[in-house]
Structure 1
Amino acid sequence: MSQLIIQFINAGVGDCILLTDQANNKKILIDSGPSKGPGRAIVTHTLMHILGDNKDIDLAILTHNDDDHIGGFEGLLKSNIIRIKKILFNTVAQLESDIFIDSGKASYRQDLNLYKTITETNIDIESLVVREDSFNTIEIGDITLRFISPNQSKMKKLKDWAQKEKKLVERKEEERLKNNKKSSNNIVYNNLNDAIQAILLEDIFEPDTRAPNGSSFAFILEYAKHRLLFLGDCHMDIIEEYFLDKEAPQYFDLVKLSHHSSEHNNSQEFFNLIECENFVVCSDGVNNHGHPSMKTIARLSKNFPHSLIHFTSDSESIKNFAQSFQERCRFPKDNILEFTYDLSK
């Protein structure tokens, strides 16, 4: 069959997306969910069910080095659940070798450990940084991936972040844990209507500035006439700049919202620059970061009031979050949120 199948797997708060080009028997795996917790078990069992004996992954895209995106890869590789031919990963290990020593920062440490596993298994690993003088595309079968993020500026900030991690080793463990503790200061809205009314009065976008998120891959997937946007956990400035160069709002069949729908990674300006009626939120709602954000749902609903919101989880937290707009919500079946696109259409 000449179809592209996209399967968003319930990875808890993380991301795990399998793309299958049926006509060419090509598979792309985007992220792997976290290293532990319910999301880890679900991803493992679901991939085993989907792949069966056909374990080959032509390309694995590791969007950036946070646990909820790359934490599961080591276990998947060592358990022979997947066999990866090539990996796309902007690992800090390839930035500057003399800055890399043991650190308490999970994403930093996991980045280096995963890079070590990849090199030991002789998997081909490549990096990609978006440049104005480059096509910034990858073609696999009938799929074209057109990369928007990260650029050289975002990678410079990742390098600066990694250098700071080296200095963190000198601190006491208690202080490091204190500094790494995260919580959300976002306003919690009781329902979507309250959030919409709030942003109509005032909507100040406070952008995410965390360097690993800024280094996240974001790309447009093109398949025949279909266009889908995968934002990883990327920053909005680079996305807005890309679309501002276009003469008209860009249409997409599907948009995977950035950073689990965080209000700091999905701006109103972004929604003004696109046209879309299907949005995906990768989150089970069980976290202290305020993901998913009702403000993000309000921003997209302001422009696209009849759009569908697809969640990768049907947890109680997500069902409660979505109650005020449940008629527009879609949930996974057997932990898979699936979309199909025909090559001939």
Structure 2
Amino acid sequence: MTDLTLRAVKAKHGDSLLLFAGGATVLIDGGPSGVYRRFLRDQLRALPANGGEPPVIDLMMVSHIDADHIDGILDLTDELIEARNEERDPIVDIRRAWHNSFADTIADLTGSSPASRRGEAASLASALEEIRFDGFDPHDSKLVLASVGQGRQLRLDLKALNIDVNQRFDGRMALQGNASTPWTCGDLSLDLIGPAQEQIDDLRKKWARELKKILEKEADAEPAARSMDTSVSNLASLVVIAKANGKTALLTGDARGVMILKWLEETGRLAPGGSVHFDIVKLPHHGSDRNVTPEFFERVKADHYLMCGDGKHGNPEPHTFRMLFEARPELNYTVHMTYGPEELKSHREFRKENLGPVLDEVLQGGGRRDILRFPGPGETFIDISI
């Protein structure tokens, strides 16, 4: 009997996940542009109807506001608004959403229309590339809220659709500690462990110090709007632990491994110096080796690891596989991928960096290739059922 299924849609270089457990359905992210129409929409249409009514999404969670996570969700809300305006049945009925829009919670966007608010948000976001947090490597900790405009638009769409946002957190940001108990639906529970208030407070202080300079630097919002898809906002990522009938999954968005370890310790899941086991771990940031360390793999163990990425930006990176294999040489686990090794090697950015031979070397010998699992020809998703 399956207690929990995590479905990973082939979302190119992004994330698009469906979580099924005990009658509950959760949609997590929608991938970059094109993924909704090509892959995700069919998955939603195939969900079972609700007594003659549209299928129910009990919770829609946007892990953070990067384009490779939020674009497909905006395509979905566009379709839902169109169906409402044309008095048609929606493709799905979304009951509630978790989504942190920094344009709402940090910036004061005062434009008189949605278009001007989006433009101002993009202008502010572009200059945030200069903001870093003390104590982190500058390359890893650059806070680029490049998709602030998209986050703002999603909040407007959800309001237009009368979908409750962060109700579980009393309308506040979805943060560690802002809900006293996990969210439950049927047999499924979701416990948010990150981000924490500490990181958001740091961001607000930085914002206050930098806002004037940002506005002076970015008077014209249009160039910022055109380029805002290219950056990441890892600190914003929602990190949750899903549990159903004793089975567990750690869903990490694009969070940094060092912060995931910190949040696991703060919430009592991980003893200092100890390790913790999950049935499933979705690796952060599409298998980037900048978001995990050997310590992460030594301390956060799983029977099933999921890497989402098609080779763009070199993700999932060969060194991530190497760290995992060296930390857990027994190979008593499965690595699930949304794109197989040959597809990764065919991506032009993977070829440009000459990563194919590196990946082949890492996967050589010892049964390493045998533990890889990925969609077959014509398949558009992969299920991890436990």
TM-score by length of structure 2 reads 0.70
Gap change, CA 1:43 and 1:158, over 3 Å in 2:
farther
Counterparts of 1:138 and 1:96, CA distance in 2: 25
Counterparts of 1:27 and 1:180, CA distance in 2: 29
SS of 2:321's partner is helix
Match of 2:371 among 318, 323, 328: 328
Aligned to 1:113: 153
Q: Percent identity?
A: 27
Q: What displacement does 1:43 show?
A: 1.9
Gap change, CA 1:156 and 1:258, over 3 Å in 2:
same
Gap change, CA 1:179 and 1:337, over 3 Å in 2:
closer
Worse overlay, 162-171 or 143-152: 162-171
Aligned to 1:89: 99
SS of 2:175's partner is coil
Match of 2:303 among 264, 271, 277: 277
Say if 2:192 is the partner of 1:147. yes
Write out per-residue CA displacement over residues 113-162 of structure 1, whole angstroms, 9 at most, x where no aligned residue: 1111111111100131113x864622221112122210112223554469
Unaligned ranges ≥5, structure 2: 80-89, 111-116, 127-145, 167-172, 347-355, 364-368
Instruction: State whether residues 168 and 176 of structure 1, in contact with CA within 8 Å, keep that contact through their aligned partners in structure 2.
Output: no
SS of 2:243's partner is strand
Gap change, CA 1:71 and 1:4, over 3 Å in 2:
same
- Letter paired with 1:284: D
Instruction: State whether residues 9 and 15 of structure 1, in contact with CA within 8 Å, keep that contact through their aligned partners in structure 2.
Output: yes
Counterparts of 1:20 and 1:176, CA distance in 2: 36
SS of 1:296's partner is helix
Counterparts of 1:175 and 1:113, CA distance in 2: 16
SS of 2:46's partner is helix
Q: What displacement does 1:44 show?
A: 2.2
How well do the aligned residues superpose, as a CA RMSD in angstroms? 3.0
Counterparts of 1:84 and 1:178, CA distance in 2: 30
Gap change, CA 1:5 and 1:221, over 3 Å in 2:
same
- Letter paired with 1:42: F
SS of 1:242's partner is helix
SS of 1:253's partner is strand
Aligned to 2:4: 4
Unaligned ranges ≥5, structure 1: 183-209
SS of 1:72's partner is helix
Instruction: State whether residues 237 and 255 of structure 2, in contact with CA within 8 Å, keep that contact through their aligned partners in structure 1.
Output: yes
How many pairs were matched up?
307
More strand by share: 1
Counterparts of 2:217 and 2:188, CA distance in 1: 42
TM-score by length of structure 1 reads 0.78
Counterparts of 1:180 and 1:54, CA distance in 2: 32
Say if 2:28 is the partner of 1:30. yes
- Letter paired with 1:144: S
Instruction: State whether residues 96 and 164 of structure 2, in contact with CA within 8 Å, keep that contact through their aligned partners in structure 1.
Output: yes
Instruction: State whether residues 12 and 283 of structure 1, in contact with CA within 8 Å, keep that contact through their aligned partners in structure 2.
Output: yes
Match of 2:314 among 290, 315, 339: 290
Gap change, CA 1:123 and 1:225, over 3 Å in 2:
same
Say if 2:58 is the partner of 1:68. no
Counterparts of 1:330 and 1:161, CA distance in 2: 43
Say if 2:17 is the partner of 1:17. yes
- Letter paired with 1:327: D
Instruction: State whether residues 241 and 248 of structure 2, in contact with CA within 8 Å, keep that contact through their aligned partners in structure 1.
Output: yes
Counterparts of 2:228 and 2:66, CA distance in 1: 17
Say if 2:325 is the partner of 1:301. yes
Q: What displacement does 1:279 show?
A: 1.0
More helix by share: 2
Instruction: State whether residues 8 and 338 of structure 1, in contact with CA within 8 Å, keep that contact through their aligned partners in structure 2.
Output: yes
Aligned to 2:131: none
Say if 2:164 is the partner of 1:124. yes
SS of 1:232's partner is coil
Q: What displacement does 1:74 show?
A: 2.2
Counterparts of 2:360 and 2:91, CA distance in 1: 36
Gap change, CA 1:338 and 1:167, over 3 Å in 2:
farther
User: Using CA pairs below 8 Å that are at least 6 residues apart, which structure has the higher relative contact order?
Assistant: 1
Match of 1:234 among 255, 264, 276: 255
Counterparts of 2:56 and 2:194, CA distance in 1: 26
SS of 1:11's partner is coil
Aligned to 1:204: none
Write out per-residue CA displacement over residues 84-113 of structure 1, whole angstroms, 9 at most, x where no aligned residue: 110001112431452464225551110111
- Letter paired with 1:70: I
Counterparts of 2:282 and 2:228, CA distance in 1: 30
Say if 2:248 is the partner of 1:250. no
Write out per-residue CA displacement over residues 279-337 of structure 1, whole angstroms, 9 at most, x where no aligned residue: 1101111x2x3311112111111112313221112484425655452322100252111
Gap change, CA 1:123 and 1:179, over 3 Å in 2:
closer
Aligned to 2:234: 213
SS of 2:147's partner is helix
SS of 1:46's partner is helix
